[in-house]
A and B are shown apart, each in its own frame.
Chain A
């Protein structure tokens, strides 16, 4: 039975399983759970299934899809398999709250709703790691991921040239996609330090067991070189300048200060788990030194520290789209087991293939993590004048001053300086603040801590809130 799209569905007050996020994790999880007869709702903010990685899969013109490469094409199978199953798929739906009792606040159009679930699977994916550097708040400086979204959804590419800068596989992929789309790439500035090659070398043998990823990277590089795109390696001291818009980017390369005039700079510094909802619910997190981010504390089925809340895919730690697909199925089996629909034996049997594929797919990660390790100096925003919290315009220097005054964790610094208190809810500054606090106090990042999650995690107006629980009185 085909699932029908959001607006025609009457949302129930309660579901056995609510999945949040319709990327590879959520889509494959929904299929598994629905196949076992679980009463599932899949909530997603986008108008169509696919998540970030397979965005606009069902509507993209074939020519553009071709430019995006094989990995993107793989998403077609997942999306069409999902379309065969019977779940309440709520698209264009914002989730603004999740708490430890598995009460979920959502918003469809202008209408807020509260629903509950026996099991919740967070499949919220990844976000780009925000790394503040001088000039990063200037219009014309964007995340590489934003560039990719415009390309996938609308076929929009930069007309007048672009500089790409940062470190990570996505940067290379976007350069390759842009090259095929005929975009003028003025330069690709690779901020990966040379010493990372040495750091990654011991992880190379294991990575060879997932050599298709390595091969792909090498092909991208070769193609870019052949197309004559200038790639500068071992770049440092990235700096965007301009008055009310970026006009040039300056940097250090081979001991020399250089600069390139450009109207558009796309930056990328790797991916980190998107943790806003799980933090608001109160899930426990720990610092992962290799991935340089916080990861939720999970068992190997994705069960978090809160009963009935599971986390899978990149939201559980960056593993990529293929791993996410397997992880989604494992968590769906666990949820189905927790609901009493299958027994332990069945769960374990059904999970064997996914476990094996996931294990094989993850061979590449330690290599990638060490190869694209971001220098601590860059993460802890060395320049005092750089704005860290763009909502409240708090600089790195102000944060260091708060630490010097005895405020030794991110939350105290937030109370004092207001960093992280703006409309973005600290999405853009939480990581940087933790690094700055840790570096300034001579502590490990884990000690600096992370802002406590504060709902609503998506915009909710006073009027929308007022329309909830109409029967409730003082």
Chain B
């Protein structure tokens, strides 16, 4: 089977890239070893966050936010997005100082989306918050979506434009023959002159087979969700000096993340919850919302994701001809995915992109 571009990895980044390429007339094949969005793409916290991004990611994140606010025009679905804003709360003067420095840094880069708010405004936005907080940093146009719905919308749209998707199709070997890459799978050989590595936690192996070294470290950040409770809060809440991402979803459930890792057996794709760390997450939520003590936790899980040593993704071309990489989003790729697809299509079809991606080169390792 032949195409213009072979994309390895049927997650959000893979389908976003395929979609943008297909919109410009390229024929793409997406190969996925499991099912679409089976790992990090389908089961992440769905945060649409510009707040607190690494400076190198800010231009991409701001561009992505624009796309998310109009996601319906791109994929024909709103992906269940909501934009009630995201807030990092300050619990003491040291926290507040940290946030003020952060806001100043973002402004100095020419961006205005991170804004300091005082105590009054904080409690107007989040009346349920424990009374000890003193202010916060807000990004008003941030929010969240439902990851599997987004993934599904990207996949459908891409496939409606002719993208060929093969699930349960693991790439066992990559070969370069003449001017083409060939991916050998149990379901046959797939060939194309161009190859995009969007393989997430498994991208290190694909990069190596394509001639690049990338120190990908697979990890499985844990999430937990509660039973439905009456609506009490709109914005997504983080904290200046705690690991937390906390929101009440549109259906009333509470989603709690804190970037704590499950114990991961990558070979068998099995995760065991680290209850000690989930207990820490629970204490963090209780410190900010003590009234939630009796809310029942319904489910915990951990999706398998690629982490890089500097927690920045790899975005760009590889060292071998015809190779491109987009992986290693280190648990904050969901929001970036629409713009990363666009960047990849520009790199592939125009040889350049208008967004700054130098910091994400694979050659930094």
Contacts and interface: CB of A to CB of B under 8 A. Distances in A.
Interface string A442-474: 000000000000111001111101111100111
B285 A105 contact: no
B320 to A, nearest CB: 33
Interface stretch (A61-69, A194-202, A226-234, A414-422): A414-422
Contacts of A468: 275-276, 279
A465 B270 contact: no
Interface residues of A, number: 35
B35 A465 contact: no
B293 A463 contact: yes
Interface string B139-180: 000000000110010001000000000000000000000000
B226 interface: yes
B293 A461 contact: yes
Contacts of A382: none
B276 A421 contact: no
A454 B35 CA distance: 19
B227 A423 contact: yes
A101 B272 contact: yes
28 contacts: A97-B273, A100-B272, A114-B275, A405-B156, A409-B35, A416-B148, A416-B149, A421-B298, A423-B296, A425-B298, A454-B300, A454-B301, A460-B296, A461-B297, A462-B294, A462-B295, A463-B282, A465-B278, A465-B279, A466-B279, A466-B282, A468-B279, A469-B275, A472-B277, A472-B279, A473-B280, A474-B242, A474-B280
Contacts of B275: 97, 103, 105, 114, 465, 468-469
B349 interface: no
Interface string B281-309: 01111100000111111111100000000
A412 interface: yes
B272 A99 contact: yes
Interface of A: 97, 99-101, 103, 105, 114, 282, 405, 408-409, 411-412, 415-416, 421-423, 425, 454-456, 459-463, 465-469, 472-474
A462 B280 CA distance: 11
Nearest to A458: B296
Nearest to B265: A100
Contacts of A411: 35
A422 B294 contact: no
Interface of B: 35-37, 42-43, 148-149, 152, 156, 225-227, 242-243, 263, 270, 272-273, 275-280, 282-286, 292-301
Given A456-B300, A461-B296, 16 more contacts: A97-B275, A101-B272, A405-B152, A415-B42, A415-B148, A423-B296, A425-B298, A456-B298, A460-B296, A462-B282, A466-B282, A472-B277, A472-B279, A472-B280, A473-B280, A474-B284
A473 B276 CA distance: 9
Contacts of A459: 296-297
B279 A454 contact: no
A455 B262 CA distance: 12
A469 B280 CA distance: 8
Query: Which 5 pairs, one residue from A and one from B, show the smallest C-beta to C-beta distance?
Result: A463-B293, A466-B282, A415-B148, A469-B276, A465-B282
A461 B276 contact: no
B118 to A, nearest CB: 27
A452 B152 CA distance: 20
B272 A465 contact: no
Contacts of A467: 279
B242 A466 contact: no
Given A409-B35, A416-B152, A463 B294 contact: yes
Contacts of A99: 272-273
Contacts of B280: 469, 472-474
Contacts of B278: 465
A470 to B, nearest CB: 8
A423 B298 contact: yes
Contacts of B242: 474
Given A425-B299, A469-B279, A474-B242, A412 B294 contact: no
A103 B275 CA distance: 10
Nearest to A414: B148
A460 B295 CA distance: 8
B42 A462 contact: no
A465 B42 CA distance: 26
B286 A462 contact: yes
A461 B270 contact: no
A324 B339 CA distance: 58
A459 B296 CA distance: 6
A310 B323 CA distance: 49
Nearest to A105: B275
A99 B270 CA distance: 11
A412 B156 CA distance: 14
B35 A456 contact: no
A412 B36 CA distance: 9
A103 B42 CA distance: 28
A358 B251 CA distance: 50
B300 A461 contact: no
Contacts of A114: 275
Contacts of B227: 423
B169 to A, nearest CB: 14
B59 to A, nearest CB: 30
- Of A454, A455, A465, A473, the most chain B CB neighbours within 10 A belong to A465
Contacts of B277: 472
A412 B35 contact: yes
Contacts of A415: 37, 42-43, 148
A459 B301 CA distance: 16
Q: Which of B37, B285, B298 has the most CB of A within 10 A?
A: B298
A467 B263 CA distance: 21
Nearest to A469: B276
Contacts of B299: 421, 425, 454-456
A414 to B, nearest CB: 9
Contact of B283 (A100, A282, A425, A466): A466
B297 A462 contact: yes
Contacts of B43: 415
Given A100-B270, A416-B148, A474 B297 contact: no
Contact of A462 (B36, B226, B243): B226
A428 to B, nearest CB: 14
A150 B202 CA distance: 53
A202 B206 CA distance: 55
A425 to B, nearest CB: 7
Contacts of A103: 275
A456 B272 CA distance: 12
A114 B276 CA distance: 10
Contact of B285 (A422, A462, A473): A462
A456 B282 CA distance: 14
A216 B172 CA distance: 59
Contact of B286 (A97, A412, A454, A466): A466
Contacts of B263: 101
